[in-house]
Structure 1
């Protein structure tokens, strides 16, 4: 199944918290659900849970990065 990379705008404090949770084996449920909603808004159907893959290096404009498997027969 294809992967869709999702970029979510965030602030540096939240990005650090999400990264820390991920490293400790946890999940930031709010950002994961936001990634899932963004996939739906793009007209695709998620095939699984969003997987956190990292954050961007921006000082002010930080983004959370998620990969989401999507069904290939949906979307544009």
Structure 2
């Protein structure tokens, strides 16, 4: 299955919280759901779990997620 990389704008405090949750094996549901919603918005269908990859160092800080998507099928 192909992966779609999603970057979500965030603030430093939220990004730190997401990273800490990830390190303890937990999930930040709001950002995970936002990444899945972005996949839908772009016209693709999520096929698997949304995986937290990390954060950017720039301003604004961005949360990075990889989402498995179904291949486009045309008839």
TM range (shorter): over 0.9
Cα distance in 1, alignment partners of residues 49 and 10 from structure 2: 20
Cα distance in 2, alignment partners of residues 31 and 61 from structure 1: 15
Q: Which residue of 2 aligns with 1:36?
A: 36
- Residue 48 of structure 1: how far off its partner (Å): 1.1
Could you tell me which runs of 5 or more consecutive residues in structure 1 were left unpaired when the two chains were aligned.
none
Q: Which residue of 1 aligns with 2:66?
A: 67
SS at 1:31's partner residue?
helix
- Residue 18 of structure 1: how far off its partner (Å): 0.1
Note if contact 1:36-1:49 (Cα within 8 Å) is conserved in structure 2. Answer: no
SS at 1:53's partner residue?
strand
Compute the TM-score of the two structures, normalised by the length of structure 1: 0.92
SS at 1:47's partner residue?
strand
| 1:1-76 alignment, distance < 5 Å | 1-58=1-58, 60-73=59-72
- Residue 41 of structure 1: how far off its partner (Å): 0.2
Compute the TM-score of the two structures, normalised by the length of structure 2: 0.93
Cα distance in 1, alignment partners of residues 66 and 27 from structure 2: 14
Cα distance in 2, alignment partners of residues 73 and 4 from structure 1: 13
- Residue 22 of structure 1: how far off its partner (Å): 0.1
